[in-house]
Structure 1
């Protein structure tokens, strides 16, 4: 009986320890390492005098409320107007998206803008490929209709392509900014999440390559890769293709695009579920490449940022089961030691990460740490773990579609923001 008790305690502690270490690494250790990497390495050289010709691709579907403002935003970028073109690709919208576009596009004026149409809705990847076939530029940049570029986006993106080793460049997605009026305040939990994503991307880019593109602003050499029509995360799939070809994928934090988070919980679930199913698709499709850890991208970056993300709810379940076993066999001393060591480790990581975060994002506002912020983060974490489990279920059951929809709150918010900005100007 004593031997059985010791065995059960040992196995429970093993599962609890492994699960805890992996979770601490995913949520704290890896962001901390990337933050240290970003601070201790120099940013790559970029030629700001270089102005390569760039084709901007904007897929649309039922975007009549925002396309006029999007045309204005793209046409006023601080980049030579003869050095870029814009292709809007409409996937058989049911509203007045196409007529609205044509009303606001002036023929013969630079930058040149064209509207391409698809006879049926086949998804964002299909729209991207349709535009690539018609693109004049060797460099293509994909964005969304309900986003807003900073003026120097093209300058910052194009500067990297003077280096032949660079195959793609990811910009920085921001969810709020003092220069753009917003109709709703973003929660501290969302801000913390996006700050950590920024830090991780900074470190990854300096170490090897950023994990993946940002779907709202991603640029690459069109001869390297095309979008996979069956993928729900075409940005991730494209980035893996580019890395497979041996090219770097850089992160440019000064190429900023703005887009609001969905402000309805159900919409957040759907948006994140789609992205996560796309990650599962990409891992299955490229498992041979990703499973050969011969560089930092495959040995450290992708597993830490993507694989552990998908495994995190399973690790939480294993941890919960292990702790339940410890309590059921009355191994209170072992449970107390585990709880104490884990608490010390978590607090130490959180403190170190906060220090690194304040240095990496030293010139930007960041939410202060408070009890309310902590509660908000816990709620956000629980929601995301639930979404990951839903993603696994729908992926395994095949319940997903490549056709995409922006949330209604996204469209409404960005329309109000753009209208307010135009009015203020």
Structure 2
């Protein structure tokens, strides 16, 4: 039992902070990559947005996209309404801009919606972005400059999470700040591990439609790595998104994301071969595989600690701390007002995020598959 306790503790320490510290140290030892020789910039860029019932935000998204600094590149935008019944497609058509195409394939799921959009792309670079992601003015130019390097297959943007202070949004914003630091370091070493759906881009020739039941941003972006290209992280290609404060909605989103993410990782297991993919394989294992196993490590740590508490001393103190931690977390999840305190918000977020991760993986292992999706948004 003692061995089980220390093995699970070591795995958690590595996953939560050890990997990050090692990664940051190694990335600083590596010389900065030389800027590639100038080459003709892409002449046309295709934006693809899959939308389901995004009437409150879709007009802002279209106007924001068409107003971006393009560096002289032509822009087309393809909005795929995945069976929306709130007038999303009509709102886009009413804008009346010839650069925007609206597709309505019915309720087919996000993967198929993106596949329909990809088929219509005519640009050299394809940019994928969420319907509620409002991009900074120079985001497109910041991404396009990386394509002067022929080894770069895709560019991942940065997401900043906004939310109510002391609630889920506060806790998740801390997580994303840490995650963005990891992406920056990974980009210097073996390349960014994968993209996040808010904003990322790929060379059109490398884009492969995602399979149903998989996480589209992960599968599409790592497809560039599988074809021998690098993903890079560009913090100037940035957007701000707001996280819902409704625990039930966020839990459902995370369970679905976990289930699809685990399936996507298994389908791309060959990328975790260090002999073929070097530093990238280590980064993918640590950032995606080990992190997804954290719920198992947490359960083993808790159970073994409960057994070892009878020995007193260190094990007794740590066991009491674990019980108090999860007690505070449960209280915060049951009574939302308590989450206004950061001391409650952080344990609550940590616990429900790992619970969702566990449920999602179990769903995947028993064969449940999520194809359709509903965005999690706070009312108003």
TM-score interval for Structure 1 and Structure 2 normalised by the shorter chain: 0.7 to 0.9
Q: Which residue of 2 aligns with 1:65?
A: 56
Match of residue 331, structure 1, among 306, 311, 332: 311
* 8 Å CA contact 1:172, 1:257 repeated in 2: yes
- Give 3-state SS (helix, strand or coil) of 1:237's partner: helix
Counterpart among 132, 141, 145 of residue 118 in structure 2:
132
Report Cα offsets for 1:34-63 as digits up to 9, x if no partner.
333455555543789964121111111222
When the two structures are aligned, how many residues end up with a matched partner? Answer: 358
Do residues 193 (structure 1) and 175 (structure 2) align? yes
Farther-moved stretch of structure 1 (161-170 vs 36-45): 36-45
Corresponding residue number in structure 1 for 2:332: none
Q: Counterpart of 1:30?
A: 19
Superposed CA deviations along residues 339-372 of structure 1, whole A, max 9, x for unmatched, are 59x99xxxxxxxxxxxxxxxxxxxxxxxxxxx95
Q: How does 1:181-330 map to 2 (within 5 A)?
A: 184-185=164-165, 187-291=169-273, 293-327=275-309, 330=310
Contact 1:277–1:392, Cα closer than 8 Å, also in 2: yes
SS state at 2:97 partner? coil
| Structure 2 partner of 1:144 | 130
SS, match of residue 205 in structure 2: coil
For the pair 1:400 / 2:380, whether they are aligned, the reply is no
C-alpha distance in 2 between matches for 1:66 and 1:140? 21
Contact 1:170 1:250 survives alignment (8 Å): yes
Which residue is 2:328 aligned to?
A: none
Aligned match of 2:95: 104
> After the TM superposition, which residues 145-184 of structure 1 pair with which residues of structure 2 at under 5 Å, given as runs?
145-176=131-162, 184=164
Q: CA deviation at 1:281?
A: 0.6
Q: Which of 69, 75, 85 is equivalent to 1:78?
A: 69
Whether the aligned pair in 2 keeps the contact of 1:142 and 1:218 (CA below 8 Å) is yes
Distance 1:28 1:296 in 2: 21
Deviation at 1:79, TM superposition (A): 1.6
Task: Report the counterpart of residue 348 of structure 2 in structure 1.
Answer: 379
Q: State the secondary structure of the residue aligned to 1:252.
A: strand
Question: CA–CA distance in 2 between the matches of 1:141 and 1:299?
Answer: 25
Query: Whole-Å Cα distance in 1 between the matches of residues 238 and 271 of structure 2?
Result: 31
User: What residue in structure 1 maps to residue 337 of structure 2?
Assistant: none
TM-score (norm 2): 0.86
Give the corresponding residue for 1:19: 8
Give a deviation string over 1:152-204, Cα, whole Å, max 9, x none. 0110010111111011110001123xxxxx8x446432221111111110111
Q: Is the 8 A contact 2:191 2:280 kept in 1?
A: no
Q: Give the structure 2 partner of residue 365 of structure 1.
A: none
Partners of 2:151 and 2:229 within 8 A in 1: yes
TM-score, structure 1 as length reference: 0.77
Residue deviations 1:357-411 (CA, integer Å, cap 9, x gap): xxxxxxxxxxxxxx953442222111112111211222223333211211231xx
Structure 2 distance, partners of 1:335, 1:145, is 49
The structure with the larger Rg is 1
User: Structure 2: how far apart are the matches of 1:272 and 1:140?
Assistant: 26
Alpha-carbon distance, 1:287 to partner: 2.4
In 1, Cα distance between equivalents of 2:264 and 2:279: 15
Please report how far the alpha carbon of residue 324 of structure 1 lies from its aligned counterpart in structure 2 after TM superposition: 2.6
Q: What's the offset of the Cα at 1:19?
A: 0.7
CA deviation profile, 1:102-124 (whole Å, cap 9, x unmatched): 111323xxxx2222221x22122
Q: Which has the higher contact order (CA 8 A, sep 6+)?
A: 1
2:83 equivalent to 1:113? no
Q: What is the RMSD of the two structures over their aligned residues, measured on CA atoms?
A: 2.7
Q: How big is each residue's C-alpha offset from its partner over 1:266-288, in whole Å with a ceiling of 9 and x where there is no partner? A: 11112211221122111221224
